[in-house]
Amino acid sequence: MSLDTATFPLVWMRRNGRDTQAELAEFSTLLARAEPFVLMTDRSVGDEGEEHDRDARTQVALWKRDNREALKQWVKGMIMLEPDDAKRAAAEEFAEYGAKFWGYPILVATDEATGRMLAQTLLSK
């Protein structure tokens, strides 16, 4: 994943590379800005190549533990864009689990316009 901050405070998560440490360093840099933001992604749940190996999952869990307070303070939520009905149902199931794991709301929208409106609502809280 890479983080595209061109439309900050909407931060796009893009698929890119498999270097977990570099990805987490990029996320740490974003948190260090100390400004609220919302993550946006158009990657579907179960996209090919999205599964992390055990070591990567461990790295993510440890990083999340160490950054829990910053995540809580600065990440106002995540919006997953999913126009496909069947994939949206899977995304909504993932969102429930993901929100518990990450500690911020994860919402699913059918299109970018709806996603942007949801993001603005999260940012205004």
3-state helix, strand, coil in the chain (%, to 5): 50, 20, 30
Question: In this structure, what CATH number is given to the domain that contains residue 36?
Answer: 3.40.525
Measured in whole angstroms, the distance separating CA 16 from the mean position of its chain's CA atoms is: 14
**Cα gap 38→116, rounded to integer Å:** 9
Domain of residue 78: give its range: 2-123
Of 106, 107, 110, nearest in space to 98 by CA: 106
Residue 76 confidence (pLDDT) above 60? yes
**The residue type at 116:** R
* Average pLDDT score over residue span 87-92: 92
Q: How confident is the model at residue 92 (pLDDT cuts 50, 70, 90)?
A: very high
CA 105, 111, 117, 119 torsion: positive or negative?
positive
Q: How confident is the model at residue 2 (pLDDT cuts 50, 70, 90)?
A: confident
* Average pLDDT score over residue span 66-93: 95
* Average pLDDT score over residue span 81-99: 93
**Cα gap 81→20, rounded to integer Å:** 23
Q: Which residues of 11-27 are buried (b: 16+ CB within 10 A; e: fewer)?
A: bbbeeeeeebeebbeeb
Residue 8 confidence (pLDDT) above 70? yes
pLDDT for 110: 96
Q: pLDDT (tens digit, 9 = 90+) per residue, 16-60?
A: 666 889 999 999 999 999 999 999 999 877 665 555 688 888 999
Q: Indicate the average pLDDT of the chain.
A: 91
Q: How many domains are there within the chain?
A: 1
pLDDT for 17: 62
Residue 30 to residues 49, 51, 55, 60, 64, Cα–Cα distance (Å): 24, 23, 23, 16, 14
